[in-house]
Structure 1
C-alpha cells in the first residue's frame, strides 16, 4: 500500500483521568478521538470529526470538568475502541496517511490500548510529533503545551481546550503554520 501525502490526519485523544492518583481498578483509556484532516497542498483543514469511545473505566468528575465529556454522554453516543479504530481505518484511511499529534502521548496511548485490547493498530508507521517539531524549528529551549504554542505563534485558540475535536482543529492550524513557514513550502 503506497503512502498518500496529500493529507495529514491530525489526531488528539482525550482519556479518562483523575485528580491525583489513579484509583484502583481504573486506567487511562481513550474517551474521545478528535480528528482534523489537513490538506498538505493548501494548508486548509478540510474535515473534522469526534469519535466518542466507551471506556471500561469510569469518567471522573475531574475528567468531566477538564473535557466537558460526561459518563452519560459517552454511554449514549460512544462506540467501542475497536469500532473507533475501524472508523479510522475505513473512513479516514489512517493506514495510508501520515498522522500527527501534539506530543507523543496520543501515539503511546493508542499503542498501549491496541496491545491491551488485542486490536490492530489503526495507523501506518509515519507519525509526526508536532510538539517536538515546533520546538525544534522555532529554536525554543523546551517543548510547550498546545495553548502556549498557539499564544507564542499569535494564533487564537478555537473551541474548547481539552476537547479532542477542538484540539485536533487547533493542532492542525499549528501544523499548517509549520508547513507554510518551511523554506521548501509551496503554500
Structure 2
C-alpha cells in the first residue's frame, strides 16, 4: 500500500518511571499512548486520543503518578501493549503514515518494547523528530523541551503536561506551526 500523506500521526508516550532506579524486577514500560492526527493541508489537529496500556512488568509509582497523573488503577483498565499496537495499525493506519514524536525517546521505547515482547512494530519506517525539526527551523543552538518550544512560537501549553494525549496535542501544534510556516516561506 502507498504511504498515506493526508495526515501525520503525532505520538507521545508515558511510561512507568521512578525517582531513581526501578525497583528490583521492574522495568520502564509504556502505560499511555497519546495520539493526535494533523491534517497536512490545513495543519488542523484532529482525533486526540489516549490509549491506556496495562503494564506487565512494572507498577505505577507514586513519582510516576505525580508526574503523569496516571494511577495504577487507571492503567489496570487499559489494554495490553499488543492490543494497543493493533489499535494503532487498524484504526489510525500507523504503518502507512508518517508519524512524529517530540524527540527519539518514543520511537526507541516502542522499538524496545516490541522487541522485548516479540511484537510487530506498529509504525512504518518514516519518523519525524519534531524536537530536531523545530530547533533546525528556528536556528537554535540546541533542542528545547516541549514547554519551551510552545513558548518560543507563541502557543499556550494546553492540558496536562506529561499526559500522552495532551502532549501529543501540543506537539501537533508545534508541528503544524513549524511546517505551516515553512510552506509559506515564513519564519515560525
TM bracket, shorter-chain basis: over 0.9
Taking the aligned partners of 2:123 and 2:72, their CA distance within structure 1 comes to: 27
Gaps of 5+ in 1: none
Gaps of 5+ in 2: none
Match of 2:85 in 1: 85
Shift in Å at residue 179 of structure 1? 1.1
Match of 1:63 in 2: 64
Shift in Å at residue 73 of structure 1? 1.1
Shift in Å at residue 114 of structure 1? 0.2
Aligned pairs for 1:55-134 (under 5 A) are 55-56=55-56, 57-75=58-76, 77-134=77-134
SS in 2 for 1:148: helix
Taking the aligned partners of 1:32 and 1:9, their CA distance within structure 2 comes to: 15
SS in 2 for 1:32: strand
Shift in Å at residue 184 of structure 1? 5.5
Q: What value does the CA root-mean-square deviation take over the aligned residues?
A: 0.9
Question: How many residues were matched structurally?
Answer: 184
Question: Does residue 1:33 correspond to 2:33, yes or no?
Answer: yes
Over residues 97-146 of structure 1, what are the superposed CA-to-partner deviations in whole Å (9 max), with x where a residue is unaligned? 00000000000000000000001000000000000111011110100110
Deviates more, 1:175-184 or 1:99-108: 175-184
Match of 2:152 in 1: 152
Match of 1:18 in 2: 18
Which 4+ residue blocks in structure 1 deviate beyond 6 angstroms?
none
Over residues 163-184 of structure 1, what are the superposed CA-to-partner deviations in whole Å (9 max), with x where a residue is unaligned? 0000000000000001111045
Taking the aligned partners of 1:52 and 1:21, their CA distance within structure 2 comes to: 23
Match of 1:177 in 2: 177
Shift in Å at residue 153 of structure 1? 1.2
SS in 1 for 2:92: coil
Shift in Å at residue 154 of structure 1? 1.2
Over residues 13-47 of structure 1, what are the superposed CA-to-partner deviations in whole Å (9 max), with x where a residue is unaligned? 00000001222211110000000000000110121
SS in 2 for 1:110: helix
Over residues 85-108 of structure 1, what are the superposed CA-to-partner deviations in whole Å (9 max), with x where a residue is unaligned? 000000000011000000000000
Match of 2:135 in 1: 135
* TM-score of the superposed pair, with normalisation by structure 1: 0.96
